[in-house]
Amino acid sequence: MNPDLHKLQPYPFEKLAKLKAGVTPPVDLDHIALSIGEPKHPSPAFVMDELTRNLDKLANYPTTAGTIELRQTIADWATRRFKLQSGSLTGADNVLPVLGTREAIFAFTQCAIDRAPAGTESPLLLSPNPFYQIYEGAAYLSGAEPYYLSCTAENNFVPDFDSISESVWQRCQLLFLCSPSNPTGAVTDAKTLAKLIALSDQYDFVIASDECYSEIYFDEAQPPVGLLEVCAQLGRHDYKNCMVFHSLSKRSNLPGLRSGFVAGDASLIKPFTSYRTYHGCAMSLPTQLASIAAWNDEAHVLENRDKYRDKFAAVVEILSPVMDVKFPDAGFYLWAGTPIADDLFAQGLFEQQNVTVLPGSYVSRADQAGNLPGAGRVRMALVATLDECVEGAWRIRRYVESLKG
């Protein structure tokens, strides 16, 4: 077996299950789950219709690269959304459909990392901290060493890239960004992205930007900026060393469709496509046709954002008098401060109010200075209905008030 498998830590929800196993919630309160980032809004009916209308195409093998129709639809969507130069991002050269961002992030890391020869220093994969745990597991199994970049309130939950030493940049082969962030909701601004692109030129590392929450935001006039968008602003229409990851899971409430894409530097897409031919991940034709329908429609996405705005406005109003909580820049998570240790808070909340949230320490690691940036916070996913989120917020408030006596 791969000797690096022993480096993998339990997934956050395994830890959460053990935490909850020691207590029993009130039987008279229905459970409210705010822990898992699984959208609960209805999937678009027209996408489901397109999927079922083409079920006969399950009789055909799909190709790894997907149809040119899907790839060009994605390229056209990204060009509109991120104001790219017309024709600079093409379905033929710059886009690859994937089965959701999770598997693509893992697979791309295996492809991108150049393992160090025995007896030499391992390459570094730089990752935000707290983080989506796939970044860490992908690093270990690719032969890289994860290097954690703490995201704290002092820096508006964006890493302090200026504090990274030259020796770290020299060992960096892959920098993962998550903007909007899971779990903090922070958006990395254009100035910072431009700085990172310059560092990529200087030290020759790849930037992989996980942007799967980019279509959930609060101000229609200010959508979150994307990595390729900043490339375009800089006149870098070849998107050198830049890759972005997007998904229909959050944008279109289709987590079970397992449909997303990777786009960017054609010189990276080409070998990644070759890797995936052996990896065996190809999107079924019915899924591809349903995805084309989803990427071509924005009305359902706007309606989706409206629902999240209503939930955030209500929940923040309820919780802000008793907790350190505020609107995120984007996404559907609240990254709330807790009056006691985050794991004890989550356990007590479940025991007393039958509400589940995720301890922040479960999605972070001690950084190079020994600090655990997720400690003292919990992640709340406002994915349930408005009524459930409001009820959950009032229960959380009652629990916090009980802690204060």
154: CB partners within 8 A, 6+ apart: none
For the range 81-89, what are the long-range contacts, defined as Cβ-Cβ under 8 Å and sequence gap of 24 or more?
A: 81/214, 81/223, 81/226, 82/226, 82/228, 82/229, 82/232, 83/229, 83/232, 84/228, 84/229, 84/232, 84/237, 85/232, 85/237, 88/232, 88/237, 88/238, 88/239, 89/228, 89/239, 89/263
Among 153, 170, 150, which Cα is nearest to 161's?
150
pLDDT of residue 280: 87
The pTM score is: 0.96
Could you tell me if 103 and 249 are in contact, meaning their C-beta atoms sit under 8 angstroms apart? no
Q: What's the pLDDT score for residue 6?
A: 92
Residues of the chain whose pLDDT is less than 70?
A: 118-119
* pLDDT, tens digit (0-9, with 9 covering 90-100), for 243-268: 999 999 999 999 999 999 999 999 99
In order of their start, the domains of the chain are 3-42+300-403 (3.90.1150.10), 45-297 (3.40.640.10)
Q: Convert the pLDDT of each residue in 6-53 to its tens digit.
A: 999 999 999 999 999 989 999 999 999 999 999 999 999 999 999 999
pLDDT at 369: 85
